A and B are shown apart, each in its own frame.
Chain A
Amino acid sequence: MTIIERRDVPPARTHGPRRWVGQSIRRVEDPKFLRGRGGYIADLVRPGMLHAAVLRSPYPHARIVSIDTTAAEAMPGVYAVVTGAQAAELTDPLPDFGPDPAKHTWRCLAVDKVRYVGEGVVVVVADDRYLAEDALALIEVEYDPLPAVVDPVRALDAGAPLVHEALGANLAYDRTFDFGDVDADFAEADLVVRDRLRWHRSGGQPLETVGAIADFDPSTGQLTAHTNSLSFTSYLFMAAATLRIPANKLDIRQVPAGGSFGSKLFVTKPLVIAGMCSRIVGRPVVFLEDRVDNISNCDHHGSDRVYDVELAVMRDGTLRGLRIDTIDDYGAYIQFGVGHHGNALAQVTGPYTIGSVRYRVRAALTNKNQQGAYRGFGSEVNNWMLEQMVDKAARELRMDPVEIRRRNFIQPAQFPYFIPTGNAYDSGDYEAVLERALELGEYDRWRAEQARAREEGRYLGIGLITAQERSVFSATEFWFWFDEPGAPVTSMPESVTLNVDATGGITATLYSCAFWGNSPETMVAQLVAEEFDCEPHDVSIVYHGSQGGLPATGPGGSRTTVMLAGAVEGASAKIKAKARRAASELLEVDPDDLEWTEGGFQVRGVPDRRKSLGDIAIALHLFKHTFPEDIESGLEESKVFDHPWTTMPSADRSDLGVFYPFMGHACHVPVVEVDVATGEVRILAYAAVHDCGTLVNPRSLAGHIVGGTAQGIGTALYEEFVYDDHGQLVTSSFLDYTIPSAMEVPELRIDHVETPSPYTPHGIKGGGEGGRMMAPAALNVAVNDALAPLGVRVTELPMTPDRLRAAIRAAEGAPPG
């Protein structure tokens, strides 16, 4: 395939004054949700709809010897009972972007053996969910238990039980990348800081589970599905292939999602289960996970990494090079390959001028639910790793932790800046963010308070981290892992259609952009209002189903607002071009003599000779003969907006190209107190300053910072999917998987620095993942700062009372040193 080289750096834009972009308007999505009329997947009832429930494996690893479904099939109210083996006759494997998918085949139900607790074994379709669950209880499965592999490091040992025999090992991916002259940087270093770090798995756990309603029409062969995600239009054909349905006979329609945080990125398994069942029974079927399904079988657990890291440092605090060796526990399957590490590599060196990186990633397969997406997609783990290392370097050099960061910042004049991996950072002003955070977080006052508290025997700690928030991924990230990628795709677009009706009312159609608590409708309404000088709340927003829709990708990697802005800008320009021509006919002037102002075109300098958009629209809709032959009736235009800055990786992958270039930045400053008697961490204060370019709706963005920080607090202190040594999931409810309540989340102080991107409409960068990218790192630094007088440094998240007490006990027992 020919790949046409793109310019290395796109032309810089200038950004004009704005009226609506930057206003904290009320969100246009909200009234229906406030009234309880959100229309979530569980609210959609279709005539004749049946309910599916899935029998889950109680074993982490076992051969399925036999399944007896006789009693379940005979139960009144049951319409179908489908085993994994039967499902494998009816459907193909699920879409899998991992290396060599045939060697770790992922199906909607387990076939010969189960590979984790919670994996689906049989699906039942019944009149309602109560009866479906009754029928599950009648199914008898004989298992032959196998030894489970739980620890990701031991999973790689020779002789470890194999999760997938076809793979011949539990190592699904292993590659070392060298970016820059790593050996020279380490050879010349005054100090090499080393550490082993451990990040355990947590996940999005939205309050609404994942589901799909499928309605197969045997007369047309059409499958209409509703799911609480519509973010996979770009590879919908793969889901269609799994269901063995022509892609143009599969229509997936958007339903609002009650939270996702990544975990509803691709609703493929529930869709395939519901679709398969609907085809069997000839009626609409809903499969909506219950809470245990979602915790144990959601395919979206987060990163689970062991790191061995070395940081080459000079005596003056200059950070030179990084050597990273990480093993990531992917669970039983690896649907997205090691894409999470692409996210890490996009910003692996943080805001610092670190010149070289060696990055080894090994993907281990174990008997756990597989990884998927969780807010940050692995880059938040990198932020945590890097900030722990920088913090340790400061300690070992006896340098101020603020000073070591400041000394290594990329400076504003250096942008666009290319980091060693080849990714570009478009813009930034890290010093400005830091200064604002120190002020907002009252850093100096808290340092004094900390000193006072230490005299009283209290352990206060101040965390300060400065880290990156990449946004808007490119398709190259899916395949630069491989020397011979199966499909080196380069498209990752987003589309918008704008329609101006005969009264001048504007309707925007979105493709693939799911609502899951982000605000695509509000963003588009504000962007359209900016273009056409109308009220945002007067803009109508509709979602197009996948069938016959324009190319689109959907949310993920903080791309939505930037991509929608590009699409709105492009569609608006087309609308305005046609409207200008129409206005020139109506006003009998040359199009070039018209200027757009206050919602219409007017003759330059003659305010009373103007046509509003409504005047123009009614003419275009109803008065065809007013215009030249070639002007078509109506006023509707679409824009397919492609990624604005992607470059290709080098053949040897020493340079991955530009793949995640709109680089946000933040500084978080939490203050914690550790109760050393119990290991409890209390957050006393928390300041966060973010720069994600031009803000569209500052309050919405601040809401994502607070909400993301709350999730980051969960990751840092409370949340973990715990599998015991035998592979049993022991956190299968919200009693054990502890999500922070309002009492665990402090009142945040938030501010923004706005460094507009030179390469995006209005200078917007993505920001939706913000808080969670930062909080785990910041809280770990804060706890370590608190416990420094005891000689305790915590290197494992979450920092539970058990882990903190164990570390404190060990320090108390250690000889003074």
Chain B
Amino acid sequence: MKPPPFRYSAPTTVSDAVALLVEHADDDPRVLAGGQSLVPLMNFRLAQPGHLIDLRRVTGLDTLRLEDDVLVIGAMVRQSTAERSPDVALAAPLLAEALGHVAHPPIRHSGTVVGSIAHADPAAELPAVALAADAEMVATGPGGARRIPAAEFFLGPFTTALEPDEILTEVRFPPFPGGHAFVEFARTHGNFAIVGVAALVALAGGEVTRAAVAVSGMGPTPLRLTAAEEALVGRAPGAAAIEAAVDAGTAGLAPAGDLHAGAETRIDIARACLRRGIEGALARALDRR
């Protein structure tokens, strides 16, 4: 289990990195951030890029900053850095909580937040968080940067709206004043989850005013459960609203089963995670008032 040969570059600017993507377009180039998804796949020779463009020396990509209330995470910010950042804890607590579920600390020391989102594993935590949080993806290509809403970013398993000559250089998390919860179910601690739920809710005047719920592991991409959100908004936070949201949220789901859980069990588990996720987010929202 050794990676196949490839060419390697470690440019120092984003524009150089993009130029390399363009220059080696015929050589199946891949961008390397932390490598915690890519290198294992290369060890299995399931990924065989011809050219790796390592972002480690690119200046400015390892920063995590607040622009007004928006949390901006650069492509080389390690998951453990984000997990320990007070800015993330305050500005995007859903992300902070979800990061604690991403594999294990040694993986998070290398793995990046943005890299995990760009990898777009439908079972992974961070794409679901980005989707629930209405994050914006900053894609930089030869023509400069453009922003892609999370809702338009995930196209299929390991497939995104990035063009072949684009690099996901930043992800922007807007604020969400309210309660959050990330809940997942995995066979063993730190392993890929069967189902994950990212939930955000806001309360005012004794009712839910806003809700955002995304689920991982239930389709080819993370899914936004708008029916669950609609079932919550306008209702008093309580068991009835939660059950309605669970029913509505899972009603249209048609996951593919796999060896860890068949489709029926996946829905059973999604129901449990959804219930616990909404409960948790509501409890925190009530705490905030």
Contact = CB atoms under 8 A, between A and B. Distances in A.
Interface in A295-316: none
A368 B239 CA distance: 49
Given A678-B269, A730-B259, A736-B259, A809 B188 contact: no
A806 B267 CA distance: 12
A396 interface: no
A133 B187 contact: no
Contacts of B269: 677-679, 801, 805
Given A718-B188, A741-B190, A137 B4 contact: yes
A736 B192 CA distance: 9
A805 B188 contact: no
Interface residues of B, number: 27
Given A129-B2, A134-B4, A733-B44, A802 B262 contact: yes
A291 B1 contact: yes
A487 interface: no
A724 B262 CA distance: 13
A722 interface: yes
Nearest to A739: B188
B44 A292 contact: yes
A679 B268 contact: yes
Interface string B180-200: 000001011111101000000
B261 A802 contact: yes
Contacts of B7: none
A675 B260 CA distance: 16
Interface in B162-211: 185, 187-192, 194
A336 B240 CA distance: 60
B272 A735 contact: no
Given A133-B45, A802-B262, A805-B268, A680 B188 contact: no
Nearest to A803: B265
A304 to B, nearest CB: 16
Interface string A666-684: 0000000001011110000
Contacts, number: 80
Given A805-B265, A806-B264, A678 B1 contact: no
A654 B173 CA distance: 75
Q: Which of A730, A735, A744 has the most CB of B within 10 A?
A: A735
Given A738-B191, A741-B189, A741-B190, A130 B2 contact: yes
Interface string B261-279: 1101100110111010000
A744 B44 contact: no
A416 interface: no
Nearest to B266: A802
A736 B194 CA distance: 11
B106 interface: no
B188 A743 contact: yes
Interface string A88-103: 0000000000000000
Interface in A682-735: 718, 722, 724, 730-731, 733, 735
A290 interface: yes
Contact of B272 (A675, A730, A802): A675
A806 B265 CA distance: 7
A800 interface: yes
Contacts of B273: 678
Contacts of A736: 259-260
B253 to A, nearest CB: 15
A731 B259 contact: yes
B143 interface: no
Contact of B1 (A292, A718, A743): A292
A644 interface: no
Interface string B42-63: 0011000000000000000000
Q: Which of A129, A724, A731, A805 has the most CB of B within 10 A?
A: A805
Given A291-B1, A722-B259, A802-B262, A741 B188 contact: yes
Nearest to A740: B188
A678 to B, nearest CB: 5
A628 to B, nearest CB: 65
Nearest to B273: A678
Contacts of B4: 133-134, 137
A110 B162 CA distance: 44
Given A292-B44, A678-B268, A731-B259, A801 B194 contact: yes
Interface in B220-266: 259-262, 264-265
A804 to B, nearest CB: 9
Contacts of B259: 722, 724, 730-731, 736
Contacts of B272: 675, 677-678
Nearest to B48: A137
Contacts of B275: 677
Contacts of A675: 272
A130 B43 CA distance: 10
Contact of B188 (A130, A724, A733, A738): A738
B189 A735 contact: no
Interface in B1-33: 1-5
A740 B190 CA distance: 11
Nearest to B189: A743
A14 to B, nearest CB: 49
Contacts of B261: 800-802, 805
A84 B192 CA distance: 38
A291 B269 CA distance: 31
Nearest to A133: B2
Contacts of A678: 185, 268-269, 272-273
Contacts of B264: 805-806, 809
A240 to B, nearest CB: 31
A414 B261 CA distance: 49
Nearest to B269: A678
Contacts of A805: 261, 264-265, 268-269
B52 to A, nearest CB: 15
A170 to B, nearest CB: 24
A740 B191 CA distance: 10
Nearest to A717: B187
Nearest to A732: B44
A677 B1 contact: no
Nearest to B123: A735
B44 to A, nearest CB: 7
B1 A290 contact: yes
A710 to B, nearest CB: 12
A290 B5 CA distance: 18
Contacts of B185: 678, 680, 801
B265 A735 contact: no
A129 B4 CA distance: 11
Q: Which of B188, B191, B192, B271 has the most CB of A within 10 A?
A: B188
A718 B4 CA distance: 32
Q: Which of B44, B194, B268, B275 has the most CB of A within 10 A?
A: B268
Contacts of A133: 1-2, 4, 45
A133 B5 CA distance: 11
Interface in A790-810: 800-802, 805-806, 809
A731 B187 CA distance: 14
A291 B44 CA distance: 10
A731 B259 CA distance: 8
Given A290-B1, A678-B272, A680-B185, A137 B265 contact: no
What 4 pairs across the A-B complex have the smallest Cβ distances? A743-B189, A677-B272, A290-B1, A805-B265
Interface of B: 1-5, 44-45, 185, 187-192, 194, 259-262, 264-265, 268-269, 271-273, 275
Given A137-B4, A677-B269, A738-B187, 7 more contacts: A133-B4, A292-B1, A678-B273, A724-B259, A736-B259, A802-B261, A805-B261
Interface of A: 129-130, 133-134, 137, 290-292, 675, 677-680, 718, 722, 724, 730-731, 733, 735-736, 738-744, 800-802, 805-806, 809
5 contacts: A290-B1, A678-B185, A730-B259, A801-B265, A802-B265
